[in-house]
Every structure is written in C-alpha cells, then in structure tokens.
Amino acid sequence: MRKKSVIVKRIIPLALVSLLAMGTLGGCANQASNTGDSTGSTETTQEEVVDNSAGVSTYGYNLSGVAGPTGLEFGGGTGQTDFTPIDFTAYEEDIRQAVVETNFQGEVMRQITADTGVNLQTNFGVGDVSEQITLMIADRNYPDFVFSRSNLSKFLEAEAFIDLAPLIEEYGPNIKKLYGTSFDTHYDEEGHIHYLGQDFVNNLPLDPEVGFEVQLAVLEEQGYPEIKTLDQYAEAIRTYKAAHPEIDGQPTIGITLTTGEGWRWFITLGNPAGFANGAPDDGQYYVDPETMETIFRFTMPEHKEYFRWMNGLYNEGLLDPDSFTQTHDEYLQKIASGRVLGLMDANWSIEEATSVLTTEGKPERAYGFFPVTVDESVLFPIYRQPVYMASNGIGITDNCDDPIRAIQFLDYLAREEIQVMTNWGFEGVNWEVRDGERKWTAEEFEKRTTDPDGRTVETGHGLLSYPWPCYGSGVNDADGLAIMPFTEDEIMEGYTEPAKAALDAYGVGMWRDLYPQAEDLYFPPWGAAWYIQDALAPDSEIGQIQARCNDLTAEYLMRAVAAPEDEFDAIWDEYQQKLQENEVDKLGEMMTELVKERASWYTGE
C-alpha cells in the first residue's frame, strides 16, 4: 500500500497528446431498448447491432453469451452474458478535431459496437474547461466516463468516481495484464482505484515529442548547418528570414510561441528553458539527481540567462511580437501558412498545423527537431526514462447506471487483440504482415500520408488509445508483432522527402538519433516531479504556494522577454523578490519531501 500524504490528492499529468477543436459536455448513460437510434453521427444504429447480435462478430467475439469459434469471450473470459445495446457517454478534456463531428464512429468503433453492444458518445472540453467542469460537478451531471487532466482533483474532491478496484478484481483480467507490474500505482492511500492510467504502458522512445524545431526549407538552403546550440539555432533562422522577408506574400516569422489557455506557456515558454540547460521535465522544478533536493527551477541563474537570450530575440524582431497575445488557433494558423521558421513546441501541439503543410504540398515548410542546448557540453534530457505511474486517466462516475458493463468495456479495450484492432484496424484491409512485421497496406499508407484526418474519421484508428488504457510501442502481441503502429519502420516510411533529405544530410535515420539517449541520462526513481506538481490539492498550503509562484512566473517571464533589453535585469530581480515573498524556498523544501517519498516507493529505502 502507498504511504499516505495529506497534501497530495492524486497524480495528475500536464502533458497532452491532442489538439483544440469545438465540442460540448456530455450527459449520462442510458440503456438502449428495442430499436432506438444512438444520438451521435454513426452509420451503425442500435437496431443493426441487435440484428447482428446472434453468434459472433466479424472479429470473433461472442455477442450472445456463447463463445464463438475463436473461443474468445467478451470481457476476456469474465463471464459476460449481457450484450444488449447500451449507450455510454464520455467526457475528454483533450479535444480531437478529427472526431468532434463524427464522434468516433469509424470502422473500428462500429466493430466495437457489434462486439460489445456499447455505443460510445464522447464530448470534449472547449473554452473555459475549468468553469464547465465546476458547473458539471455542482450539478452532479456527470457522463459515465471522465478523462480530465488539470481538473481531475475537482472530480476526486467531489467523490464523483466510483472505486474500480473490486470491479477490476472480478471483471478486469486484461486491465491487470496490460498494466502489469505498474498496476499497483493506481491505488490511492486508502486502497481505492479511481481511474486507469492514460500513459502508454512500456513505451519505448522513438521520434522526439519536443525539441527546437527548424523549418526544413531553412536547413536545405543553408546546406544543413550544425544546429546544436541556441546561437546556432537562432543564426539559421535569422539568416533565412533576412533572405526571405516574405513567404507566399506574407511577412516571414522567425519564431512564434503559444502561451494562452492557462497551461500552454509551460510547453513553449517555460519547458524549453529547462531542456536547453539539461534539466529534464520535472514540471516547474529541478531535482538534484544525487540528493533529490528540489527547487523551483525558475530561481536558477541558468534560466535567467536563457530568458535573457529570448529577450534578445524579441528585441531584434526574431521572436513574434504576438507570442504572448495570440490565441492557440491563431498560432496554428500561422504555422499552417508556412511562414514560421522556428518553434519551441511539442509535436502533438503542432501536428494539426504541420499536417496541413503536408497535405497542401508544402512539406518543406514543416520542421526538423533538434536537441538545442546552451552549449554542446549540455545533454538535452527528454529521453530520460522515468518509471511508469498511473498519473491520470479514465474514471467511471457514480452516475453510470451499469458500472459492470462499463468496466467490462474497458477490459475489452485492454485485450491484446483489441489493442491491435483499435490501433491498426483489420488484417488484409488496413494492415498485413511483410518481412515478419505488421505494416500498413499500400492503400492505407497512402491515406495516412495524403489525408491523415480524413483517414482517422473513416477508420477510427488510434482514437481509443490515449487516454484510454493502452500499450506502448515497446509491446508485441502473441505473434511477436507490434501492437502500436509506432515502429521505427513506420516512422521512417512516413517521413516526407524533405525530411528524409535532411536526415540523410545529418547522417542519421531518425530525428531521435540526433538526441542523447536514455543510457546517456540518469534514471529518476521518483518518476517525474510533474506527476506530484499537478496533484497538489489546490487548498493545501503547498498547492496555494505553487499556484502563486506559477502565476508570478507566467506574468514575469512574458514581461521579461518583451521588455527593452536595458530593463530585463530589473524585471527579473523584481520577479525573484516576488517569489521569495511568496515562500518559494518553502515550496522547494516541501517538494523535496514529496520527491524523496515518491522515490522510496521504488527504491524501498
């Protein structure tokens, strides 16, 4: 059992895998009866499911309580006999543009409905998500399933989630198999399980999710220059911008940021300062790997010098003056126009815009990823491999009328064969085995390359991975084939010609190969401190101090970067004084205790 801590509610992650779009909040589940149609955009009606419910589904799962010819039973052998159609509602705080209108109803979801009788109606957070969730909780108007990242503590405090532990014991063999030795990280201090972890289990690092991005056209024109330091990164962008003041008739932008919507400043403004100085992603903190002493990292002199560098970019006009005022949609529109030369963002944050560049025939305006640091002696740290922790995920609310069917649905999704289906689709249609590996068919690969969003809507591949229980890229099925389509071959085959040319020029096969790898970096027994950071109870002393320090940091970083150069030091000194007045040293001491406690779970010390 875990040690009890009075100031940590649960472990909640900050990072995201999804993009903004429009959506609405969901209601509660209803048992479907007779021939009523479902409420989403779907070609499979409940009547059709009933008609197809005698025998086995196309995939071989029983639909009537009698095991099919494959011997596979719904729920992984849990004795499920009820396959009547049922609607489940779900809320996801992360929005996925490709499925907002279609509500997941691609080929895979239709097969899932045929297998299980479950029709999933998913709604997405939009606008002021925190306010919407506050209203949802006040009304106790919960959907059946909830995934909420930064607001999860609100649901926990409202006791909105049921305890999954006894349900998993009886109906969740595939859930326990999927999480393996990491399953115990789901338990809270009282031995309850409120949600299933959303991170990929046993995920091997492939292409980098974050880095300093440079447009491929910039690299080509300059003969693929060395880009290892901040100065080299800026000079490549500066040189190209001077030679090309306009792109497609619009002013060229050197570097732009997205800092609105509450949390995005962490990704493009705050985190790069740490990475450039060799500090791994421990959220707002730096943890000494030897002593585990933890400090609020924006008090470090190295961070000050990084932001002095950013201030210089702003004052010379290389950093977009709209970086601190534009919306995220405006940010994406600029990237999709092809006129932004450099970024400091996560791939999942920009891929909607970069896919537009590819589909519109401008792949050279997409980006290469580089591990840029203050100097070549510093190791870019993103391939550090922390231990797996159930940091956040899908919970079942107490509004769910049929929690047994709900947990059996999650167990069905966790089944190895279903993990293959939800991510790859169907053998002979979407994928085939060639040279001993699972690969996309030629037709499927073409769709993925030319119309990735349209293909996602049509097939539904990948939509029930994150944030639902999901294996990572390091897991193979019983036949030794990759469960997730994140293999090296898959990535390299998907590179555009400009990207392949750049990688060839740098003498590597993947962008990952430019980065220091896990064996070059230290192992953190505490996992990642942002798990702790985002789980602090808002009304606790440490939670309140952290919130004040975060608010000050967002304000002063933007002020410092956008100030005249001769005012930078004064603003930074004022910022540090404000942090001291708001007990930043005490915050570090309290976080040190929590980091050491977390490390003890794995070291046993």
Highest-scoring range by mean pLDDT, 140-149, 223-232, 346-355, 439-448:
223-232
248 Ramachandran zone, left/alpha/beta (phi>0; psi -120 to 50): left
Q: Are 389 and 527 in contact (CB under 8 A)?
A: yes
Q: Do 344 and 216 share a domain, yes or no?
A: yes
Q: Do 36 and 168 share a domain, yes or no?
A: yes
Distance CA 504, CA 36 (A): 57
Which pLDDT value is given to residue 538?
77
* Phi then psi dihedrals of residue 341, to 5 deg: -85, -30
Q: Do 284 and 302 share a domain, yes or no?
A: yes
Distance CA 357, CA 336 (A): 6
Q: What is the pLDDT of residues 425-436, one digit of tens each?
A: 888 888 999 989
* Phi then psi dihedrals of residue 286, to 5 deg: -120, 130
| Single-letter amino acid code for the residue at 184 | D
Distance CA 590, CA 584 (A): 10
Q: Which of 48-62, 157-171, 192-206 has the lowest mean pLDDT?
A: 48-62
Model confidence at 5: pLDDT above 60: no
pLDDT band at 79 (very low <50, low <70, confident <90, very high): low
Beta bridge partners of 431: 427, 440
**Does 368 map to a domain?**
yes
Q: Do 221 and 164 share a domain, yes or no?
A: no
Which pLDDT value is given to residue 247?
98
Q: Do 148 and 234 share a domain, yes or no?
A: no
Query: Which CATH number does the domain housing residue 323 bear?
Result: 3.40.190.10
**Does 8 map to a domain?**
no
Q: Using the structure block, give the residue that is written with the tokens 């007990």.
A: 583
Tokens matching residue 151:
């607001």
CA–centroid distance for 410 within its chain: 20
Model confidence at 455: pLDDT above 80: no
Q: What is the pLDDT of residues 386-435, one digit of tens each?
A: 877 787 889 999 999 999 999 999 998 999 888 998 889 888 888 999 98
Q: What is the pLDDT of residues 558-605, one digit of tens each?
A: 999 999 999 999 999 999 999 999 999 999 999 999 999 888 877 766
Model confidence at 16: pLDDT above 50: no
Run of H or E including 191: none
Q: Which of 158-162, 216-220, 260-264, 522-526 has the lowest mean pLDDT?
A: 260-264
Distance CA 497, CA 217 (A): 12
Q: Using the structure block, give the residue that is written with the tokens 């299980």.
A: 116
Tokens matching residue 229:
């330091």
Q: Are 430 and 439 in contact (CB under 8 A)?
A: no
pLDDT band at 6 (very low <50, low <70, confident <90, very high): very low
Using DSSP, state whether 143 is helix, strand or coil.
coil
Please work out, in degrees rounded to the nearest 5, the angle formed at the alpha carbon of residue 295 by the alpha carbons of 293 and 299: 145
Model confidence at 64: pLDDT above 50: no
Q: What is the DSSP string of 193-256?
A: ---EE-SPBTPPP-S-SBSEEEEHHHHHHTTS----BHHHHHHHHHHHHHH-SEETTEE-EEE-
Which pLDDT value is given to residue 95?
58
Mean predicted lDDT score pLDDT of the chain = 83
C-alpha distances in Å from residue 407, one per residue of 64, 108, 145, 166: 18, 19, 10, 10
C-alpha distances in Å from residue 102, one per residue of 90, 429, 452: 14, 21, 15
Q: Do 464 and 508 share a domain, yes or no?
A: no
C-alpha distances in Å from residue 332, one per residue of 1, 94, 252, 439: 45, 16, 15, 31
Q: Do 78 and 226 share a domain, yes or no?
A: no
* Phi then psi dihedrals of residue 465, to 5 deg: -90, -120
Q: What is the DSSP string of 148-159?
A: -STTHHHHHHTT
CA–centroid distance for 207 within its chain: 14
Model confidence at 61: pLDDT above 60: no
- Using only the alpha carbons of the chain, give its radius of gyration: 24
pLDDT band at 262 (very low <50, low <70, confident <90, very high): confident
Q: What is the pLDDT of residues 269-319, one digit of tens each?
A: 999 999 999 999 999 999 999 999 999 999 999 999 999 999 999 999 999
**Does 407 map to a domain?**
yes
Which pLDDT value is given to residue 2?
32
Which pLDDT value is given to residue 57?
54
pLDDT band at 450 (very low <50, low <70, confident <90, very high): confident
> Quick one: average pLDDT of 520-540?
84
Please work out, in degrees rounded to the nearest 5, the angle formed at the alpha carbon of residue 183 by the alpha carbons of 182 and 187: 115
pLDDT band at 112 (very low <50, low <70, confident <90, very high): confident
**Does 174 map to a domain?**
yes
Q: Which of 58-62, 84-88, 198-202 has the lowest mean pLDDT?
A: 58-62
Which pLDDT value is given to residue 84?
85
Using DSSP, state whether 427 is helix, strand or coil.
strand
In the chain, % of residues over pLDDT 70: 83
Give the residue, 26 or 128, on which the prediction is more confident.
128
> Quick one: average pLDDT of 116-142?
83
Tokens matching residue 72:
């596979």
Distance CA 414, CA 79 (A): 16
> Quick one: average pLDDT of 149-176?
90
> Quick one: average pLDDT of 194-209?
88
C-alpha distances in Å from residue 137, one per residue of 81, 160, 392, 395: 33, 8, 18, 14
Q: What is the pLDDT of residues 568-577, one digit of tens each?
A: 999 999 999 9
Which pLDDT value is given to residue 164?
97
C-alpha distances in Å from residue 261, one per residue of 33, 62, 168, 209, 327: 41, 45, 36, 20, 8
Highest-scoring range by mean pLDDT, 35-44, 303-312, 535-544:
303-312
Which pLDDT value is given to residue 17?
28
Q: Do 66 and 142 share a domain, yes or no?
A: yes
pTM of the predicted model as reported, rounded to 2 decimal places: 0.76
Q: Do 153 and 193 share a domain, yes or no?
A: yes
Distance CA 385, CA 186 (A): 19
Using DSSP, state whether 480 is helix, strand or coil.
coil
Q: Do 285 and 171 share a domain, yes or no?
A: no
Distance CA 60, CA 359 (A): 37
Which pLDDT value is given to residue 566?
98
Which pLDDT value is given to residue 182?
86
Q: Do 348 and 370 share a domain, yes or no?
A: yes
Which pLDDT value is given to residue 108?
82
Letter string b/e over residues 298-307, b meaning 16 or more CB atoms within 10 A of that residue's CB: bbbebbbebb
Which pLDDT value is given to residue 429?
86
> Quick one: average pLDDT of 82-87?
86
**Does 598 map to a domain?**
yes
pLDDT band at 348 (very low <50, low <70, confident <90, very high): confident
Query: What total number of domains does the chain contain?
Result: 3
**Non-local CB neighbours of 51 within 8 Å, separated by 6+ positions:** none
**Does 204 map to a domain?**
no
Q: Do 305 and 409 share a domain, yes or no?
A: no
Question: What's 55's DSSP letter?
Answer: S
**Does 380 map to a domain?**
yes
Distance CA 544, CA 590 (A): 12
Tokens matching residue 233:
């990164």
**Does 513 map to a domain?**
yes
Containing structural domain, residue 479: 423-484
Count of C-beta atoms within a 10 Å radius of residue 548 = 17
Tokens matching residue 601:
């779970």
Model confidence at 556: pLDDT above 80: yes
